[in-house]
Amino acid sequence: MPIAVRWLLAAALLLAVTPASAQTPAPPVPAAPPVPRAWKTGDEAAAIERRIDDLIARMTLEEKVGQLNLWGRGDEFRMEWVEQGRTGAVMNFVTPSEIVAVQQHAARSRLRIPPIIALDAINGFATYMPQPLGQAATFNPRLVELASYWSAREARAVGINWTFAPMIDMTRDARWGRVMEGAGEDVHLASILAAVRTIGYHRGGLATSAKHYIGYGEAESGRDYNSVWIPVSKLWDYHMPPFQASLAAGVFTVMTSLSAMNGIASTADRHLVADLLKGQLGFRGFVVSDFESVKELIAHGQAADGSDAVRRAFGAGIDMDMMAGLYDAHLARLVRDGAIPEAAVNDSVRRVLRVKMHMGLFEEAPYDPALARRDLGTAEARAASLEVAREAVILLRNERGILPFKPSVRSVAVIGSLATHQADWQYTENAGLPRVISPRLTDALAAILGSRVRVTSAPAFATHCSLAAGDTAGAVATARAADVAVVMLGEDCEQYGEGTSRAHLDLPAHQQALLDAVIATGKPVVVIMHTSRPFVLTRFIDRVAAVIQAFHLGTEGRTAIAEVLTGRTNPSGKLPMTFPRATGQVPIYYDRLPTGRPRIKNFRYETGYLDESMEPLFPFGFGLSFSRFSFDQLALASASVPRSGTVAGSVRLTNAAGPAGQEVVQVYVRQRVGERSRPVRQLKFFQKVAVAAGGTQTVSFSIPVQSLGYHDDAGRYVVEPGTYDIFVGGDSNAALTASITVTE
Ligand code: BGC
């Protein structure tokens, strides 16, 4: 959500506030799960099409256009428009009374078509789950599904029925502020998670929107909204698979991108939307523009004025106009003038009504505001938040086993307002709805360590939302007086998501200065990076005892971090993105193509940099555990396999030292020789496996040979015979290797 809209929302909510109830805890009433959203099939689906025929036959042109408008909270919006049939969908209403009003107005409209009520319910509404990038770090699809389920279920409790999620844009560029909304750099992981997120939101009672179609994450130089250039082969191999996975999982709608790909704005790209998505891929839901992206066709230089923008966007296959108001202003006239056939409008209306009917909106009872009290901030949601966060914590460094804290540690200094302040930014803020407070790290630590260990704190920055420099001297003194200093650094509340690109990925100067001063005390330092993207840790990594990476982990994130610090949880998170040594290496990713001059002898005429290694600081898939895992006995079921077959094998995983723990078995594949260069390795299988202390597990894997191919420049998929190398291990540098021949 743009910051301006977020601000507007907060201001409007302030007016609806019921101060006395702001802190009221949710009553512990067990809640019945919502009915999952799902496409109907067979006779039911056929009956829906007949019902749509009947409805469309009774609609005026204005009522049809009304179904294609998505309006929301803002200066212009009038609730009467819902009653007039002028808008079939609304967004950004989050108080139960407003939702009831929207529904009542729709019920008074001539045809009583129920509204779709939308919100960016991404990783929470009252109880927050880790950000999607943090969810991806679990490498655990079950937990990602669970996080989506609870995010949906809480939004559902205030009457929302459509989420603008999952965001499944692929990106390899940490400068782009929206990396936190996706699943990281790897297309295999991202595709699996795109599917489970879609399913989880549906199970929680929301319809979904796969976004942003397509290529938004390739924004040149990581600058949000910038142009993207994607060749056909890369489009199909890298950007399409998560969308195909979400479509296969039954996503209801697709949102276009704000950007232009190969010189054509996605919202005006007929080939991408009408031909490919609705035609070739057979998508039968509706396509919604992004926020005002119909109007932005003018700024893109692809439409002369509002009317022209409608002609371009509607002609490209965009069924619904989000917030631009241009379909409302021009579409009916364009139809009357013969510039747009009414049959095309009917097709778009059919798609919107189809989604509404398959969602079950026509049969649904009016929203009951009691749900908000019952279903927000429940103990179950908090437990889910903790369960996901535990596996999302990534341990990047742990020198001389500083973590978990030894019994000899008698005092811990916690530094940084991200750790020492409560956090509670959420949609329910000021809305008179139950608020869910995220505990301070200090409190979470003290609760585990008890009176045996003294936990002291120093905020060092202004507030938990603004990391402007604060009392550095006080922080240093606090560190000096303790056995260990835990320093939480990172990004402000508003420094992630849309419009937050960075040109520098190092710590801001005053954070680095604070850290240097704490390191200078000589106390062992544990750094917690609370960021929404990979940062460059090179300037301090060798000078601190431990580093934990936490991608905004949600309501229970700091509890999970405290559990890791104290050993109550053995970390198992893995990096879903490569961590660079320097911003100048970005985009840096593991599944790169080889060059004709690989780095072997380290001399000038090999690929690399004059002033930096070409290796990342931490590779994709990396994350430490308190256990020491080792892999051996890699065995393939056969030395050769036909193209129609499966690469089957197994590997032994041993928990050689330390407590019981979980390791992510990662299997990468490289095609040695092909018609075109193939990536140096690509993840094709992963599985999180629990192993008892000192125990072993034999883990089997199977990879369909059909998944080892690629697309050529004409978009044809090819799987070539030849030798394929297999690499198995706990990160993308996996060293255990075998090879297999794929035959015709
Ligand atoms: C974002 C979308 C979001 C929409 C509605 C846009 O600016 O790009 O991802 O769903 O706003 O809030």
Reported as a single tens digit per residue, the pLDDT across 689-740 is 999 999 999 999 999 999 999 999 999 999 999 999 999 999 999 999 999 9
Q: Which amino acid is at 687?
A: Q
Confidence of residue 425 (pLDDT cuts 50, 70, 90): low
Q: Quick check: 190 pLDDT over 50? A: yes
Residue 7 clears pLDDT 50, i.e. is over it: no
Neighbouring-strand partners of residue 128: 124
Residues 44, 391 contacting (CB under 8 angstroms): no
User: Is the C-beta atom of 290 inside 6 A of ligand 1?
Assistant: yes
Q: In what order do the strands lie in the sheet with 411-415?
A: 394-398, 546-551, 525-531, 484-490, 411-415, 454-458
Q: How far apart are CA 482 and CA 274, in angstroms?
A: 63
Rounded to the nearest 10 degrees, how much is the dihedral formed by the CA atoms of 522, 523, 528, 531? Answer: -30
Q: What is the pLDDT of residues 46-80, one digit of tens each?
A: 999 999 999 999 999 999 999 999 999 887 899 99
Q: Which atom of ligand 1 is nearest to the CA of 209?
A: 10
pLDDT at 3: 37
Which CATH superfamily hosts domain 36-369? Answer: Glycoside hydrolase, family 3, N-terminal domain (3.20.20.300)
Whether ligand 1 lies within 6 angstroms of the CB of 291 is answered as yes
- pLDDT for 676 beyond 50: yes
Q: How far is the CA of 465 from the centre of ligand 1 (A)?
A: 22
Calculate the CA dihedral of residues 37, 38, 44, 48 and round it to 10 degrees: 70
**Beta strand 640-642 pairing with 736-743:** parallel
CATH 3.30.70.1140 fits 628-743, yes or no: no
pTM: 0.95
| Radius of gyration of the CA atoms of the chain, in A | 26
Active-site residue among 173, 186, 290, 375? 290
Looking at residue 432, what is its pLDDT?
Answer: 73
Beta bridge partners of 635: 650
Q: Within 13 Å of residue 579, how many CA atoms lie on the same side as its CB?
A: 25
- Asked whether 118 and 160 are in contact (CB, 8 A), the reply is yes
With bands split at pLDDT 50, 70 and 90, how would you rate the model's confidence at 238?
A: very high
Q: Where are the beta strands (DSSP E) in 273-351?
A: 286-288, 321-322
Q: Measure 289 CA to ligand 1 centroid, in angstroms.
A: 9
* Nearest 10 degrees: Cα torsion 194, 199, 200, 202: 130
Atom of ligand 1 nearest to the CA of 1: 12
- Residue 237 backbone class (left: φ over 0; alpha: ψ -120 to 50; beta: rest): alpha
Q: Report domain extents, the chain.
A: 36-369, 378-585, 628-743
Name the band, by pLDDT with cuts 50, 70 and 90, for residue 30. Answer: low
**Does any ligand 1 atom lie closer than 6 A to the CB of residue 254?**
no
Atom 12 (ligand 1): residue with closest C-alpha? 1
Across the chain, mean pLDDT equals 94
DSSP code string of 25-49: PPP----PPPPPP----HHHHHHHH
| Cα–Cα dist 631/634, whole Å | 8
Residue 1 has pLDDT above 60, yes or no: no
* Euclidean distance between CA atoms 472 and 485, whole angstroms: 14
Fold of 378-585: Rossmann fold (3.40.50)
- Please give the distance, rounded to the nearest whole angstrom, from the Cα atom of residue 174 to the centre of ligand 1: 20
Q: Could you tell me if the CB of 498 is within 6 A of ligand 1?
A: yes
What confidence score (pLDDT) does residue 28 get?
A: 46
Distance 193 CA to ligand 1 centre (A): 20
Q: Residue 10's pLDDT band (boundaries 50, 70, 90)?
A: very low
More confidently predicted of 221 and 8 = 221
Residue 296 Cβ inside 6 Å of ligand 1? The answer reads no
Which residues, in sequence order, are CB contacts of 737 under 8 Å at separation 6+? 634, 725, 726, 727, 728
What value does the mean pLDDT take over residues 116-126? 95
Kindly indicate the confidence band of residue 427, based on its pLDDT and cuts at 50, 70 and 90.
low
pLDDT in tens, 305-341: 999 999 999 999 999 999 999 999 999 999 999 999 9
Distance CA 728, CA 88 (A): 51
* CA-to-CA separations, 81 to 72, 90, 235, 348, 581, in angstroms, rounded: 11, 10, 40, 20, 54
Query: Has 290 been annotated as catalytic?
Result: yes
Give the nearest ligand 1 atom to 323 CA: 5
Q: What is the DSSP letter of 439?
A: P
pLDDT band at 463 (very low <50, low <70, confident <90, very high): confident
Cβ–ligand 1 contact at 258 (below 6 Å): yes
pLDDT in tens, 497-533: 999 999 999 999 999 999 999 999 999 999 999 999 9
pLDDT of 634 strictly over 70: yes
Residue 9 has pLDDT above 70, yes or no: no
> CATH topology of 36-369 equal to that of 378-585?
no
> Environment class of residue 524 by beta-carbon count within 10 Å: exposed (0-12), middle (13-18) or buried (19+)?
buried
Core vs surface per residue 172-206: b (16+ CB within 10 A) or e:
bbbbbbbbbbbbbbbbbbbbbbbbbbbbbbbbbbb
